[in-house]
Structure 1
Amino acid sequence: MIKILISGFEPFGGSSINPTERLVEEIRHDSFQGAEIRTILLPVHYDECAEILLQEMRAYGPDAVIACGVAGGRTAITPERIAVNIKDIPPESTISDNRGARPQDELIDPDGPDGLFSSLPIRLMVNRLKEAGIPASVSNTAGTYICNNTMYAILNEIRIQQLTAIGGFVHFPASTEMAVEKPGLPTLSHETMLDALRVIVQSTIDEYGNQFSQTS
């Protein structure tokens, strides 16, 4: 049995919707053979979001952590390849976290490596998503905002604690409902994104399920 922890985020940036909030609420009712699913909703606050997720990892002991976030403007599901050790909101940007924090050029972990690679089966995920008719591609930048911060924290925890767990981050486009507030925003339907998350979970099970069932 592989234990999978899936996280999503609350709304941010003036939007009343974050599609990953609904995705994690609904995916936890799904049943996957050979897997146990737990979900958590995170605040859009630098550091606090990561600490809450790390506390859940320590309490639950997952074999895999799939963190999910929204990337408005993207047109495809994009598993992230790498997280970088930086928190940075450019001066020209109007965005902040939900407490108004706007870090610039700050290291996430002063003692950590510059970058950490996802250990999720990102290429398999993308190939499976495309086979299912869902737009997808591997992304080589998770940005320098909360999503990157969270991805780095997961992988850094795995590194420091020398865990056998795998982890990474997947960005989803805006949902169709978000276009009501921002017409012209590229979107995918909730149903398509939920199907995509199911493919992502199943890909993780297929790639690593046997490995963790033998070690658990």
Structure 2
Amino acid sequence: HPHVVIATGLKRAARGMLLERCATNLMDADRPDADNVLPDREPIDPQGPPAYWTGLPLRSIIGEFTKRDIPASLSSDAGTYVCNSLFYRLQHWATGQDRVLAGFVNFPTVTNSAHSQHGLSLRQQVAAGRSIIRQSIRYYLQPASSDLLRP
């Protein structure tokens, strides 16, 4: 019975951390996944809502990233396949639980180059993970609407 669930993925083309705002009820891809499955514009849950918003305190997380000089941006969605499917199912599950905070964050690749086009150092990624956890737990214990970034 977790109180906070932070799912993660890898976005190879990302320069920094990507905080995912929305999980959409859609599976679609132009390449097969690791199991060689290729969906064709089908809903994740035919009876589910079109989308779920993250429960993570994005404003607080971005604020802490800024203080720690961790490159990051908000992402409107986690794509339309594996990451998004996990995020959507997580948010669907969380809505049926009693007070569970859940969301999804994409990490970039690990790089040792200070001026890499893609990726962050392992030190920055560990610091980012700690910030996400710290701010999510703080928000869970003391929620404030000003912590959220929603349209």
Normalising by the residue count of structure 1, what TM-score does the alignment of the two structures yield? 0.61
Q: CA deviation at 1:210?
A: 4.8
How far apart are residue 128 of structure 1 and its match? 0.7
Which structure shows the higher helix fraction?
1
SS across alignment from 2:132? helix
Structure 1 residue runs without a partner (length 5+): 1-60, 212-216
Q: Give 1:67's aligned amino acid.
A: A
1:62 equivalent to 2:14? Answer: no
- Alpha-carbon deviations, 1:177-209, whole Å to 9, x = none? 7x9xxxx76111112101100011011122222
Aligned to 2:105: 170
| Aligned partner letter, 1:63 | H
Contact 1:174 1:185 (8 Å CA) reproduced: no
Secondary structure at the counterpart of residue 73 of structure 2? coil
Look up the SS of the partner of 1:83 in the other structure: strand
Q: Which residue of 2 aligns with 1:77?
A: 17
CA distance in 1, matches of 2:98, 2:41: 29
Q: 1:96 aligns with which of 32, 36, 44?
A: 32
1:114 matched to 2:50:
yes
With a CA cutoff of 8 Å and minimum separation of 6, indicate the structure with the bigger relative contact order: 2
Q: Deviations over 1:161-180 (max 9, x none)?
A: 24310101001111127x9x
Contact kept in structure 2, 1:64 and 1:167, CA below 8 Å: yes
Q: Distance in 2 between matches of 1:199 and 1:156?
A: 25
**Residues paired across the two proteins, number:** 141
1:204 aligned residue? 136
Give 3-state SS (helix, strand or coil) of 2:125's partner. helix
* AA aligned opposite 1:133: D
Partner Cα separation in structure 2 for residue 149 and residue 139 of structure 1: 15
Alignment match, 1:39: none
Give SS of 2:91's match: helix
1: CA distance, partners of 2:137 / 2:130:
11
Shift of 1:134: 0.4
Counterpart in 2 of 1:149?
85
Matched AA of 1:121: P
The 8 Å contact of residues 116 and 156 in structure 1, kept in 2 or not, is answered as: yes
- Contact residue 101 and residue 140 of structure 2 kept, 8 A: no
2:124 is aligned with what amino acid?
T
Separation in structure 1 between the aligned mates of residue 122 and residue 24 of structure 2, nearest angstrom? 29
8 Å CA contact 1:80–1:170 kept in 2: the answer is yes
Alpha-carbon RMSD: 1.8
Question: In the aligned structure 2, how far is the partner of 1:115 from the partner of 1:139?
Answer: 14
In structure 1, how many angstroms separate the alpha carbons of the residues matched to 2:80 and 2:117? Answer: 21
